[in-house]
Amino acid sequence: MGPESRRFSSLRDAHEFMKTEVDRPVEPGEITLDNGFKLDMHPHFFDDGTFTNSYDLNWAPEDARAAMRITPRPESMLVPAPGVSASTSATFFTFLDEASATPRQASLNLIISEGRILGMPVVDRETLYIRDGELAMDHIAASGELSLNGRTLTWAGSRTDRDAQSHVYGNGNIRVTLRRDPQTGSKRCLDETTRFTPVMPATEPRSDVGFMASADGTFTSVAVAPQGGMDIFAHDLVVRCPEGHVNRTGENRLAIKSISSLRAENLPEFAVSCGPSLKTPDFAAHPINQDPSLGTRPVFADLQAIRMVVYGGLDERTHIRLFDGRPGSSTFPGVTPAQTRDIITADIGFTWGAHVDGGGSARISIVKDGVLRSFGNRQYLKWPRPGQDYFLWEREPPGRDVPTRFELTRPGRARGPRDLEVGKHLGPVSDLLRQLGGGSPRNRANPESAPAHPPAGRENLHNPHGALTRSPTERGRSMGFS
């Protein structure tokens, strides 16, 4: 254990130490990278005696190209990618401490990576997208058109009230509940019934079809459930379709023709659903606070917490800004959603902007002179492992793994191959059919006959087919808050 780590025999002792070590205003300063990126750091003090530390990564659009790294499983923020000058955590994802399985894609709602659709929205939501290397924002409705076996159908997100010929299901359909835990305070637990599509009456003239993403950007079916009850986690996309358009015994091919204002022939390179726009008049009334997939604690209530925002400033620069804090601190608790807007408005103002995932996921990393440096989010305290009797705090902990992050490179720089190769890392459909237990497509959606999955030890986290049994990991026992 190096000099930057500390052991504590009690949680109270750890909190007392963090009051002096973590709850400190950052020294004002600016770090300029050789390609025009800047990281501005300074504290902001409030009238009630609290403060936040602001870390503002910003750049002129002509000086940088933005991209996203989207992976099926969360990965460390502290692994530098070749050619990337700066990176930050991005948007919300499926985060569970206890669940019988994990989804094939950890991200929530809309996911577009390298111009290919990997996940569909089940609810209307603000969306951050990247087109020609520039970040922007729009509000995307969960509706549009798709092609099923050559026939055009309207579709809508299953959590909307829209009438449509077909309805889409995904990770956004799950319900996460908070359960008190004597050691960590609380755990995020999956309501297992929400992992499956609702069961339909036998007379319902529709079927649920489970699809896998193909390398050409379309989707291929691997399971059909005439009465519903299909495992959402076991598929990249589940669509409830009119029975007359579904091939029960053979292959079904699906292509997304439009998602709200996005057209298949002109998709952005990257897009992900995000949090409320900075122009939201009342953050507490935003529907994301009632989103069951994010847990029972309203994420944008009028409470101080670690927040991260992406916005276009009136200085004609793009900003990714982290307002840091420590959960439980009386002086360094973070900011409310409204305070983020007020601070940005007072500083330089904005033309557009949106909140992204904050809490224990928020982090900024830069590469300066070949050295990776991390900023913000130092609140992680590792709880005792089995057989240990101490808490461990480290000055630069790895923090929470994330499946989406923003990456900045110099214009024209060619990046290396991405980790995510749709149709390759997922494995052939024949492997998936064996995983689902074989048999007829109608039987594969039966929850009672779901296959057993391997234990969720660290060696299993990269299983290409997902759907792993999961127990709390070391990071799940850390003091991380969403």
Higher pLDDT, 415 or 189: 189
Quote the CA–CA distance of 45 and 199 in Å, as a whole number: 53
Q: Say yes or no to pLDDT of 436 above 90.
A: no
Question: What would the pLDDT profile of 96-147 be if each residue is shown by its tens digit?
Answer: 889 999 999 899 999 999 999 999 999 999 999 999 999 999 999 999 999 9
Question: What would the pLDDT profile of 36-72 be if each residue is shown by its tens digit?
Answer: 789 999 999 999 999 999 999 999 988 889 999 999 9
Residue range 353-366: mean pLDDT, rounded: 92
To the question of pTM greater than 0.95 for the whole model, the response is no
Question: What would the pLDDT profile of 295-328 be if each residue is shown by its tens digit?
Answer: 988 999 999 999 999 999 999 999 999 999 988 8
Quote the CA–CA distance of 149 and 350 in Å, as a whole number: 45
Supply the pLDDT for residue 184: 64
Around 149, how many Cα atoms within 13 Å sit in the side-chain half-sphere?
13
Cβ neighbours of residue 278 under 8 Å, at least 6 residues apart?
Answer: 309, 311, 340, 341, 344, 350, 352, 353, 354, 355
Angle (nearest 5°) at CA 341 between 339 and 342: 60
Cβ atoms 78, 88 nearer than 8 A: no
Quote the CA–CA distance of 306 and 329 in Å, as a whole number: 12
